[in-house]
Amino acid sequence: MKKLILRSIFVFILCANSFAQRGKTGDKTFSDRFPEDVIQEYTKTYLRVFNETDHDIIVLVRGQNDEYLRHVYIRSNDFWTIRDIPITRFYVQFKNREFYFEDFGRTVMNFADKHSFYFYYNPQKEHQYKKITEEEFFRS
């Protein structure tokens, strides 16, 4: 009986610990380090971001003047749709396990546009990203 109780406690602690350390897709992990999200409902725009890697990422969307628009946590092999982005030219920054990156591509968002961004690791595509610092990622 004592072994059963100890095993139950061990399994409970193990399960609780594994759920507590990992966020859910869509979480605003760093909401305390960024300003309010920029949302413009009348634009009817969205950006769908796919994470096709074996680790979770944090995606940050910035406008053409480097202003913060939105950020979101996306689990491995999952996606999230960022809706009502302002009409602007934007780019994406992202944080993986150890590094911060910025995509060189700039995308124009017009009224009712729908765009997709696929994040995956391919050594042949490294020229499409540049490594940035933590300070560059978290600037307001």
The tens digit of pLDDT for each residue in 55-68 reads 999 999 999 999 99
The tens digit of pLDDT for each residue in 76-90 reads 999 999 999 999 999
Beta strand ranges found along 28-74 (DSSP E): 46-51, 57-63, 68-74
The gap from C-alpha 9 to its chain's centroid, in whole angstroms, comes to 34
- Residue 1, pLDDT score: 66
Of the two residues 127 and 132, the one the predictor is more confident about is 132
- Residue 94, pLDDT score: 92
Average pLDDT, whole number, for the chain? Answer: 87
The tens digit of pLDDT for each residue in 17-40 reads 555 578 899 999 899 999 999 999
Bridge-partner residues for 47, per DSSP?
Answer: 82, 115
Question: Judging by beta carbons within 10 Å of its beta carbon (0-12, 13-18, 19+), is residue 25 exposed, middle or buried?
Answer: middle
Where do the structural domains in the chain lie, given as residue ranges? 24-138
Domain range 24-138, CATH class: mainly beta
